[in-house]
Amino acid sequence: FLAASLSGKVGDKVPEFGFLEDGLHKISCPDPYRRPANMTLEAFGNFLIDEFEQKVLELGAENVAAFFAEPVMGSGGVMLAPEGYLARIYALCQKYDILFVADEVVTAFGRVGHWFASKDMFGVQPDIINCAKGITSGYIPLGATIFSDEIYDVISAPGHDRYFPHGFTYSGHPVACAAALKNIEIIERESLCEHVREIGLYLNEQLATLLDLEIVGDVRGVGFMCCVENVADKESKVLFPDEVNIAKRIADACEENGLIVRPVGHLNIISPPLTMTREQVDLLIGSLRKAIITTTDVLRQEGRLETRAPAHV
């Protein structure tokens, strides 16, 4: 109930279910690409921090249980907040005694080149971390909730009748846990976090070369977690109408070239295997470039773009 309510994605809010509304408060998305016009990154970061603190004061710090965030936003578009954002939010949580909850379902276990993004990338030690996916490299379903000693001491204190009677049939499933342990062993043995940090720099350098394409408004990423944001007009950053289904078109064209990318609205999200090489980066970027150019030419033929000389691969 709470997890579904936390989502900001409209498609997740199906009308047949109820969601928490009154007790859940959202603040602005820390998206540098779509920050207000003429606002510097530094000013945008200050605005976001001020907004959060004002929201806490408005509600009363004693009424705020926790702050939830992904260190790097995943399906929302691989958002990398302005520098210092997460650390400053964390400092305010410490100041006002608010739990900091990190959703590391995507970012943990090597995806961004670290075991956990919160601590290793941003210097933040969450009170609670939820993770999944990379814990087994997706070979078998498993999720985990990790919490601090302080929280454990409270819920495990004798005589207080505090416990979690979830009763999940598959809690601690030995097969899933065995897969996770072996996966962690392999990541460590093959130095995959270090590999992702090294090759990830090259991947994101090459991803930036796509910015010369007509409909690519922004590219962003860290490690092996990347995104291309497609726009109808670069200057205004206006999006294509929903019916164009731009990201799905590009994803379909990519698949024809042997590449799988995830379409989300106007975004194409890229999450390659942690073992990807420099040569495979070149193949990925070449296939993606070809797919975007092909899609652009089709859009022009449909009259959805100004007539210009066709792009070349």
pLDDT digits (tens, 9 = 90+) for 155-204: 887 776 666 666 777 788 999 999 999 999 999 999 999 999 999 999 99
Q: What is the pLDDT of residue 258?
A: 95
**Euclidean distance between CA atoms 288 and 268, whole angstroms:** 10
pLDDT digits (tens, 9 = 90+) for 17-57: 888 878 899 999 999 999 999 999 999 999 999 999 999 99
192-301: CATH architecture: Alpha-Beta Complex (3.90)
**Euclidean distance between CA atoms 147 and 120, whole angstroms:** 17
Place of tokens 């009424």: 63
- CB–CB of 30/69 below 8 Å? no
- CB–CB of 142/171 below 8 Å? no
**Euclidean distance between CA atoms 224 and 208, whole angstroms:** 14
Distance in angstroms between the alpha carbons of the first and the last residue of the chain: 47
Q: Out of 3.90.79.10, 3.30.565.10, 3.40.640.10, 3.40.50.11540, which CATH number does the structure's domain 2-189 have?
A: 3.40.640.10
- CB–CB of 196/224 below 8 Å? yes
Indicate the SS3 state at residue 130: strand
**Euclidean distance between CA atoms 77 and 5, whole angstroms:** 19
Average pLDDT (87-100) is 98
- CB–CB of 223/112 below 8 Å? yes
Average pLDDT (78-102) is 98
pLDDT digits (tens, 9 = 90+) for 253-296: 999 999 999 999 999 999 999 999 999 999 999 999 999 999 99
Give the residue extent of every domain in the chain: 2-189, 192-301
**Euclidean distance between CA atoms 131 and 139, whole angstroms:** 15
Helix (H) / strand (E) containing 176: helix 174-189
Average pLDDT (130-147) is 95
With a CB cutoff of 8 Å and minimum separation 6, the contacts of 299 are: 215, 244, 246, 305
Q: What is the pLDDT of residue 308?
A: 56
**Euclidean distance between CA atoms 135 and 180, whole angstroms:** 5
- The 10 Å Cβ neighbour count of residue 101 is 19
Amino acid found at 63:
N
- The 10 Å Cβ neighbour count of residue 149 is 8
